[in-house]
Structure 1
Amino acid sequence: MTVPDIHLEFAGRYLGDDEDGPTNWSELEDYFKPQCGGTLCVTLVRRPVSYDFGQDCGYIEAVASRNPYYRHDTIYINVKAPCPAPTDDSGGATTQGGVDAGQDAGQDAGGQDAGQDAGSGSGGGTDQGVSSPATPS
């Protein structure tokens, strides 16, 4: 999947936690749903970054961690800083600003190291979560 061409539609639109922000965020999510079969299959994370113009919390760009991106990937929605974290779940997650902000987001929910500790503990099991023991030949 590739990031939808939404720049012209969303450039500068307010994506904060109040006023029209939650409605705009919902519309933004709708652009990602068709590639996912009608439901949102990626995590959109609001990431405030330094930017020279536009309103605070205004949309700048969507940045995928890889291209093409896949289900369960994190897509960063760069907005003009400052943009405080939402007080509820209506506007997506927010990372702190900066060029590399949020680089580890999603690691516990299906990222690179997900499942590494599944099955460990006093009951034995594997430490990989997704691996199977080798079968003797």
Structure 2
Amino acid sequence: MKHLATVLLGTGALLAGGLVAAPAASAATSCLGSSCNGVNPGNTTCANDARTVAEGSGPVTAMELRYSPSCRAAWGRFRISAPSGSKIVIKNSQGKQYTTYGSGHFYSVMVNDKDVKAWACGTWKVQGSDDTDCTSSY
């Protein structure tokens, strides 16, 4: 017990003296604008402040357009549980376009949304035929 108290007191003294660095409070943004093109938002800090800025307008509202203000990037996300083989196309007004395939509540890679417009379209099979839902631009 005496040894544990000595270790704790010594560690406290080191921290107070600034000799042991405390961990960083948060990670830096991992991409910004065009450097986010084609990047998975789950591998960045962009998802931390993301919000839904547009929803699909089809008979089944399946798509969401997500936007990160800190990264100035957007991506699409399925609101419904999409069947296997479904896809999301994310594009912007600069002509960048990416297609991501998946199933369930999956999301696309990102596209630059800094001073441009972006939108997303999801396509999935319903009883053998394609159904599509697209968001408005943001």
Normalised by the length of structure 2, the TM-score is 0.26
More strand by share: 2
